[in-house]
Amino acid sequence: MKVVMPVAGKGTRLRPHTHLVPKPLLKVGDKPVLSYILDDLRELGVNEAVLITGHLKEKVEAFMAEEYPDFNAVYTEQVEQRGTADAIALAEPFVQEEMLIIFVDTLFDADLTLVKRLPEDVAGVIWAKEVEDYQRFGVIVTDEQGFMKKIIEKPSEPVSKLANIGLYYIRDWKLLFEGIRHVMNSPPGGAGEYYLTDAFQYMVDHGAKLKVEPVHGWYDAGKPDTLLETNLHVLSTTRGRSPESVGDGVTIHEPVHVGDGVTLENSEIGPNVTLSAGVTVRGSKLRHTIVGETSSIENSELNDSLIGRDVRVSGVRGQVDLGDHSVVTIGGASA
């Protein structure tokens, strides 16, 4: 089995961080979003990957080579972003078998081992999450047996509350690519894009059975506020790590993740704070904040903030969003 992962997006909603870091490599719980997915795939026994690259592609390739050398990864570039069907179409030369398709701007709690237990007449699985604000999503309408009938984008009426989350297993890969070719030869949808969901509709219209399965959890990592919410989730479950000891004047409110070599002095940390390796915090209070490697924060009170690596912050109160190598000083010399 292969996994196909589109990672070409520019991550505009997460700027300035994505000017230098590809969106899938941004961290929650001091671990890149992409790593959570690759670790799950390892457990499933999948190590054949096709990555659809684009923005900062060289950093994605370097990350895979350094951190996941056991994956047999190939790369194909989506030069012009024309939608999800266009992205997956680029993987066709590398796929001659069943596959997973994973859009990596979310994390999920899903039983991927289900794919090993499917009846032979099932062509694939679409995972979904029941939501109340269904108007924001593409929702899946199912029949009485739980198979897809159609996907409706942002419905005004509650035809379904099963949101499409971007996680799929496709056994009948030949029919999928036939459907993608049909979509690409048809007029594009909104914003001139071609949608993978239209290829799924083609499969269903040609007799394929696509099972719709619920996920236990679905955590967005595609914009600052939801990235912090996802950070809270992973700290509360798998990635919480408090320092073994703290000095005088330091208070910890769990959940937090404190990396190696972090220096804390006269500060209050948490809840929902991730400090990567080498961070220094002095005379400060941090809540709902992610701080990248070797950054320093002094005499500040920060909340709901994203701070990159090698950042210097002093005398700041409130919320900030600072990319790598930024310097912000209030009440003293500034740069």
Q: Where along the chain do the CATH 2.160.10.10 domains lie?
A: 240-329
Q: Is the pLDDT of residue 295 over 60?
A: yes
Assign 332 a pLDDT band (cuts: 50, 70, 90). low
Look-up of token digits 């955590």: 219
Give the pLDDT score at 112: 87
Give the pLDDT score at 158: 77
- Longest pairwise C-alpha distance within the chain: 69
Q: What DSSP string describes 201-264?
A: HHHHHTT--EEEEE-SEEEE-SSHHHHHHHHHHHIIIII-B--S---TT-EE-SSEEE-TT-EE
For residues 31 and 237, give the distance between their C-alpha atoms in angstroms, rounded to a whole number.
Answer: 14
pLDDT tens-place string over residues 23-76: 999 999 999 999 999 999 998 889 999 999 988 999 999 999 999 999 999 999
Assign 335 a pLDDT band (cuts: 50, 70, 90). very low
Q: Which helix (H) or strand (E) holds 268?
A: strand 268-269
Q: In CATH, what class is 240-329? A: mainly beta
**Do 220 and 134 meet the contact criterion of CB atoms below 8 Å apart?**
no
For residues 37 and 76, give the distance between their C-alpha atoms in angstroms, rounded to a whole number.
Answer: 19
The answer to whether the predicted template modeling score (pTM) of the entire model surpasses 0.85 is yes
Q: Is the pLDDT of residue 333 over 60?
A: no
Backbone angles phi, psi at 303, to 5 degrees: -140, 150
Give percent above pLDDT 70 in the chain.
Answer: 99
Backbone angles phi, psi at 242, to 5 degrees: -85, 155
> What is 2-220's CATH superfamily?
Spore Coat Polysaccharide Biosynthesis Protein SpsA; Chain A (3.90.550.10)
3-state secondary structure 282-320: ECCEEEEEEECCCCEEECCEEEEEEECCCCEEECCEECC
Assign 154 a pLDDT band (cuts: 50, 70, 90). confident
Q: Where along the chain do the CATH 3.90.550.10 domains lie?
A: 2-220
Give percent above pLDDT 90 in the chain.
Answer: 67
Q: What DSSP string describes 134-171?
A: GGGSEEEEE-TTSBEEEEEES-SS-S--EEEEEEEEES
pLDDT tens-place string over residues 202-230: 999 999 999 999 998 888 888 898 899 99
